[in-house]
Amino acid sequence: MNRRLTTARLIVALISTPLEEVAIYVIWRWLLPEFDIVLPVSVLIGVMVAWAIFSILLFLFTTQILKRQVTVGLPSMIGAKGKVASSLNPEGLVRIKNELWVSTSTAGTISKGEVVEVIEEDGLKLVVQRTGDRPKR
């Protein structure tokens, strides 16, 4: 995740958390007494501390989640196995993860139904080679 984005999120958290704490105080001081609800100061302090801890943990948790890099697209296909949908001579279609991909064979002609493995990507095409696996019926 971008450091600027983390810094911006931290600044927002540092501004919003005190505002939320003020809102809790306002509710305790003026709104609850309107409904004849009186809570001791210790309850107010406990709620404010709990909310601050929750805010910190939420910030840390979301920062960790946002740092995870999800690989999508062609690079994530390398190592995937699939079945030849139309003969590769050397180019044709391969079905991988229930999707059809334009593919090029490294070993010349590969017949329809054979199992292949993706070894690299070339632009928007997959480069595949035969595997020793038998095709599933």
87, 113: one domain: yes
8, 36: one domain: yes
For residue 106, the model assigns a pLDDT of 87
Q: Give the residue carrying structure tokens 């809790």.
A: 24
Residue pair 106/127 in contact (Cβ under 8 Å)? The answer is yes
Q: Which residue intervals of the chain are DSSP H helices? A: 3-26, 32-34, 41-67
Q: Last residue of a domain, which of 40, 67, 94?
A: 67
Closest CA to 78 of 112, 114, 103: 103
User: Would you say residue 52 lies in a domain?
Assistant: yes
Mean pLDDT, residues 38-66 taken together: 94
Q: Last residue of a domain, which of 67, 89, 104?
A: 67
User: Would you say residue 135 lies in a domain?
Assistant: no
Token pair of 39, please? 């809570």
89, 123: one domain: yes
Q: Last residue of a domain, which of 49, 67, 85?
A: 67
Other residues' Cβ atoms within 10 Å of the Cβ of residue 119: 12
35, 57: one domain: yes
For residue 72, the model assigns a pLDDT of 59
Q: Domain range holding 88?
A: 75-130
Distance CA 48, CA 26 (A): 12
62, 105: one domain: no
57, 86: one domain: no
User: Would you say residue 136 lies in a domain?
Assistant: no
* Count: domains in the chain: 2
Distance CA 82, CA 118 (A): 8
55, 80: one domain: no
Give residue-wise pLDDT tens across range 117-135: 999 988 888 999 998 766 5
User: Would you say residue 137 lies in a domain?
Assistant: no
59, 84: one domain: no
DSSP helix/strand/coil, 94: strand
Give residue-wise pLDDT tens across range 5-50: 888 888 999 999 999 999 999 999 999 999 999 999 999 999 999 9
Regarding pTM above 0.85, the answer is: no
